[in-house]
Amino acid sequence: MKTSTINSENSLWQKSQLSEIVVLLGLSVTVPFLIHLFPIWGALPLGAYLLPMFYAPLLAALFCRIHVGVVVCLFGPWLNMQLTGQPESTFAILLTAQLLVFYVLLKGLTFRGRSQRQWYFGPLSFLATKGLIMVLLLIFPTFLTRISPFEFFLNSTIYAFPGLVIISLIGWLAILTYPSESSAS
């Protein structure tokens, strides 16, 4: 009797991938917190250059089931805001939308499994996300009052170059560390 209860609980834990959710949410809070400890560099906070909020969704898209990434994208910015005060609530809405679009695009590119993963999928998804968000901001301009959607797109992609390099490196290292099923045999 007791064994079946333990097995069913273990199965529920495994199916929901709660450990992955906890680890990736922890990553989505810890890395931005550590990056924001450094002084502001230039016109924007360091996170705008290094893109730390995108690391956990990237890893979730490469290695986890869909619901794990969705949870990380939905709750990461809000946990960050509650624990660190960053980002502001208006930007947290925009960041949540960006993370979800980034994740869905990246998950779509890697849908066929690990054998289809490429290091450039992360930066490609980020750039496509910025383009889609710009279109959404043209339709619903209430989230940006300081700059136009075109300026937002241009500035956020130019400033994000160091972060795109980091996302590329994370993707490359992840693929190198966990090769595809076909090359593992």
- Cα–Cα distance between 54 and 52 in angstroms, integer? 5
Q: Report yes or no on 161 lying in a domain.
A: yes
**185 part of a folded domain:** no
- What pLDDT shows up at residue 49? 92
Tokens of 182: 């076909």
Q: How far apart are CA 70 and CA 21, in angstroms?
A: 10
For 108-169, the DSSP string reads: HHTTT-GGG--TTHHHHHHHHHHHHHHHHHHHSGGG-SSS-HHHHHHHHHHHTHHHHHHHHH
Q: What angle do CA 51, 52, 54 make, to 5 degrees?
A: 75
Q: What is the pLDDT of residue 96?
A: 95
Counting the structural domains of the chain, the total is: 1
pLDDT of residue 87: 85
Three-state secondary structure call for residue 17: coil
* Coil, helix or strand at residue 65: coil
Q: Is residue 4 part of a domain?
A: no
DSSP H/E element including 171: helix 161-177
pLDDT value of residue 85: 84
Q: Does residue 87 lie within any of the structural domains?
A: yes
Residue 127 forms part of a structural domain: yes
Q: In this structure, is residue 64 part of a structural domain? A: yes
* Residue 102 structural domain: 20-36+49-177
Token pair of 136 as six digits: 């959404």
CATH number, domain of 65, equals 1.10.1760
Instruction: Of 120, 134, 100, 128, give the one whose Cα is nearest residue 171.
Output: 120
What does the pLDDT profile of the chain (185 residues) look like in tens digits?
455 544 555 565 566 688 899 999 999 999 999 988 887 767 788 888 999 999 999 999 998 999 999 999 999 999 999 988 888 888 899 899 999 999 999 999 887 665 567 888 999 999 999 999 999 888 887 766 677 888 889 988 999 999 999 999 999 998 888 766 544 43
**Residue 118, in any domain of the structure:** yes
- Quick check: is 114 in a domain? yes
